[in-house]
Amino acid sequence: MINAPQIKTALPGPKAKALIDRDKAVVSPSYTRGYPLVIERGSGATVEDVDGNVFLDCAAGIAVNSTGHSHPAVVKAIVEQAQKFLHMSGTDFYYEPQVRLAEELAAIAPIRGGARSFFGNSGTEAIEACLKLARYATGRQNIIAFIGGFHGRTMGSLAITASKAIQRRGFGPLLPGVYHAPYPDRYRCPLGSSPDSCGDACLDYIEHQLFTHLVSPDEVAAIVVEPIQGEGGYVVAPPGFLERLREIATAHGILLVVDEVQSGMGRSGKMFAIEYSGVEPDVMAIAKGIASGLPLGVAVARGGLMAWPPGAHASTFGGNPVSCAAALATIALLRDGLVKNAADVGAHLMNGLASLADRHPLIGDVRGRGLMVGVELVRDRRTKERATDERDAVVTAAFARGLLVLGAGKNAVRFSPPLVLTRDQVDTAVRIFGDALTDVERAHA
């Protein structure tokens, strides 16, 4: 792929516009297209659209293309498996790629004493499996999740999702027995506490509000948490929060379910973001980057916990052999250097974006881990008024200049590039993002 970016036409170009017009007639309008990108091909951290425009990709298909677009090793694994057989359903039969992937996941998951995996097709299916397993294993019915959390759009996952009202509007009643607690955002603590006390304040809410007034802890099956909230704005759990949450869960016999759908598979600079805390989950949900773009979602649990009988839960397409082959190749690449690259290049990205704050008053906060970095935009740094319209305008201005980024939360921009991103590409991305900020700041002056 040639160097990015190279913008040759107005955006969208004529071929892109024609395809977008076709899309409007036949595709569900519920999809959220942030800008009119019509991709033709990709390589590494660059993509080319149907009109020959080349973009630097810091979105990675919503944090999915972990090893970059069409990594040769992943493509080779896909082709070799596809030539053997495409499907046989691991629900009813056996095949080596699924068994080997389960062995690999047991080796890399931060769960001691052995782990088992249930295979689905997506993040929301992984979460659904986690919820069902939690209820089955504990005999309890209630779930605690967090405001700002995103866990999927199927009915169980949607019930614990509390990211945007539009995602829930019109679909009630949802799964009963779900309770939400505030998530500790150190930049704007939802309970008005200081940054250093925000985590404890949010946990006190669970112990002294939820457990006192709404739900008895001995009827709670699971607490579901993201170590780094994804759709909620790339908000990193503060030090000590996950450790104390683990203590609360253990004290009451509650399972701790960690959603690593977006933060897992090397994106944070460790294989899983929960590893920064040293906390051991009971159950994990993994998806997005696990198979470099092929559909795969996994619920990983302590071996003794995942003891439900045949027929209790299954999936016709889950653990598809081609997806498993892609995941095995992905894990090998992550181990061989991409996790380390995410940490090293991610630190360079954080520093570059933080340096823009001196020149751009729109930037209120820069946060994240590895190549999972969020920039929160505000109209006033003192009041922290959310720059919602400006955020959308910055994303669009970046696209016009050849940089692909996405929004997260109400007013943050997320950088979730392929883990093959280089320092030189980071410098390009930071420069373009700064130019986009300048465009928007001038327009809103």
Within a domain: residue 344?
yes
Average pLDDT score over residue span 185-194: 95
User: In whole angstroms, what is the distance from residue 258 CA to residue 66 CA?
Assistant: 20
- Domain residues for 428? 14-71+337-443
Q: Which of the two residues, 165 and 2, has the higher pLDDT score?
A: 165
| pLDDT the model gives residue 189 | 95
The verdict on 129 and 227 lying in the same domain is yes
pLDDT of 162 over the 80 cut: yes
User: In whole angstroms, what is the distance from residue 379 CA to residue 381 CA?
Assistant: 7
Residue 63: name the closest of 417, 345, 354 by CA.
417
pLDDT of 102 over the 60 cut: yes
The verdict on 120 and 232 lying in the same domain is yes
Three-state secondary structure readout of 132-176: HHHHHHHCCCEEEEECCCCCCCCHHHHHHCCCCHHHCCCCCCCCC
- The total of other beta-carbon atoms located within 10 Å of residue 25's CB is 6
The verdict on 28 and 42 lying in the same domain is yes
The shares of helix, strand and coil residues in the chain, as percent rounded to the nearest 5, are 40, 20, 40
Query: Count of residues for the chain?
Result: 445
Structure tokens of 119? 């295979």
| pLDDT the model gives residue 89 | 94
Band (1; pLDDT cuts 50, 70, 90): low
pLDDT of 317 over the 80 cut: yes
The verdict on 63 and 78 lying in the same domain is no
Average pLDDT score over residue span 159-184: 95
pLDDT of 112 over the 80 cut: yes
- The total of other beta-carbon atoms located within 10 Å of residue 84's CB is 12
| pLDDT the model gives residue 46 | 98
Within a domain: residue 8?
no
User: Which of 164-168, 261-265, 276-280 has the weakest average pLDDT?
Assistant: 164-168
The verdict on 348 and 323 lying in the same domain is no
Query: Which CATH number do you get for residue 62?
Result: 3.90.1150.10
Residue 221: name the closest of 162, 288, 301, 153 by CA.
301
Average pLDDT score over residue span 265-269: 98
| pLDDT the model gives residue 129 | 98
Q: Which residue, of 333, 366, 382, is where some domain finishes?
A: 333
Within a domain: residue 2?
no
Average pLDDT score over residue span 238-253: 98
The verdict on 397 and 430 lying in the same domain is yes
Band (221; pLDDT cuts 50, 70, 90): very high
| pLDDT the model gives residue 339 | 98
pLDDT of 199 over the 70 cut: yes
| pLDDT the model gives residue 366 | 98
| pLDDT the model gives residue 445 | 78
Within a domain: residue 7?
no
- The total of other beta-carbon atoms located within 10 Å of residue 304's CB is 11
Which tens digit of pLDDT belongs to each residue from 10-60? 999 999 999 999 999 999 999 999 899 999 999 999 999 999 999 999 999
Residue 350: name the closest of 337, 363, 338, 333 by CA.
363
The verdict on 159 and 225 lying in the same domain is yes
Model-wide pTM > 0.85: yes
Within a domain: residue 4?
no
The verdict on 21 and 123 lying in the same domain is no
pLDDT of 219 over the 80 cut: yes
Mean per-residue pLDDT over the chain, rounded: 97
Q: Which residue, of 311, 333, 355, is where some domain finishes?
A: 333
Query: Which CATH number do you get for residue 210?
Result: 3.40.640.10
Within a domain: residue 3?
no
| pLDDT the model gives residue 2 | 64
Residue 260: CB partners within 8 Å, gap ≥ 6?
226, 227, 272, 273, 274, 284, 285, 286
Q: Which residue, of 333, 356, 378, is where some domain finishes?
A: 333
The verdict on 238 and 356 lying in the same domain is no
The verdict on 125 and 200 lying in the same domain is yes
The verdict on 261 and 319 lying in the same domain is yes
Average pLDDT score over residue span 59-75: 98
| Number of structural domains found in the chain | 2
The verdict on 57 and 80 lying in the same domain is no
Average pLDDT score over residue span 387-402: 98
Band (94; pLDDT cuts 50, 70, 90): very high
| pLDDT the model gives residue 405 | 98
Within a domain: residue 1?
no
| pLDDT the model gives residue 9 | 97
Within a domain: residue 133?
yes
